[in-house]
Amino acid sequence: MNDRFEEVITTRERLRELRKPPRELVRNKSIDHIDDICRRYISAAPFIMIATRGADGLLDLSPKGDPAGFVAVLDDKTLAIPDRPGNNRLDTFENLLANPEIGLFFLIPGNNDTLRVSGTARIVRDKALQARFEIRGRVPDLVLVVSVEEAFTHCPKCVVRSGLWDEKRWPDLADVPTLAEAVVAHAELSEPVSEIQALIDKDRVERLY
């Protein structure tokens, strides 16, 4: 089959020909549990990304956010993440019913280092655990419980290159489409963007928790 690119890398051997081997400190930095270093990252993180894979084989990346430390460390092999009100697509949960593998990426605003955790996950209902995550008198209906298999910190180069926390380097948002614009276009809705934006604004106020 003709390809538009000069070369497509298809083997590990070829890949390694093009890159130096990782230094020992990088090769050996992953651990199989949550230690004090990881706990301190997790306690300061108000935002994570969750990677899962569906029955159709497609990967999904879902954002979750709450006050810093919202991911609870139950023990050195177990994390718990509350499920807050959303759009009810339940992509992450439905994926986990088919494939329990999960990846987590922890972000701390203003901090260039990040934390990656992977393992397997279960969808849990447990009154005592749900009560731990009460905010504004509301507890989550479901809790995502992660069994940790690997954890390691990630180098800061990607954050430095992107200028993620440097306000002077943030792009102009004037031409960035809003969620309302995207929904109307992608779902081919007849409703005006203004009406969908009003629904989104109302949902943000009334269904945050």
Residues 197-207 pLDDT 10s: 999 999 999 99
Q: 25: pLDDT confidence band, cut at 50, 70 and 90?
A: confident
Does residue 179 carry a pLDDT above 70? Answer: yes
Provide the whole-model pTM. Answer: 0.91
d(CA 36, CA 43): 10
Using the structure block, give the residue that is written with the tokens 């276009």: 185
Mean pLDDT over 55-67 rounds to 96
The pLDDT, as a whole number, for residue 138 is 95
Query: Contact at 8 Å (CB) between 121 and 146?
Result: yes
Does residue 121 carry a pLDDT above 80? Answer: yes
The pLDDT, as a whole number, for residue 2 is 64
The pLDDT, as a whole number, for residue 66 is 97
Mean pLDDT over 22-33 rounds to 84
If one counts every other C-beta atom within 10 angstroms of the C-beta of residue 52, the result is 23
d(CA 183, CA 74): 38
Q: Which class for 148: exposed (0-12), middle (13-18), buried (19 or more C-beta within 10 A)? A: buried
d(CA 207, CA 85): 6
Give the dihedral of Cα atoms 162, 72, 50, 196; nearest 10 deg.
Answer: -90
Per-residue pLDDT of 66-101, as tens digits, reads 999 999 999 999 999 999 999 899 999 999 999 999
Q: In what order do the strands lie in the sheet with 114-124?
A: 59-65, 47-53, 101-107, 114-124, 143-154, 78-82, 72-75
Per-residue pLDDT of 148-166, as tens digits, reads 999 999 889 999 999 999 9
Q: 28: pLDDT confidence band, cut at 50, 70 and 90?
A: confident
d(CA 143, CA 102): 14
Does residue 1 carry a pLDDT above 60? Answer: no
Please name the fold of domain 21-164. Pnp Oxidase; Chain A (2.30.110)
Tokens of 100: 């329990």
Does residue 24 carry a pLDDT above 90? Answer: no
Could you give the C-alpha distances from 177 to 86, 87, 118, 172, 183, in angstroms and in order?
20, 19, 32, 12, 10
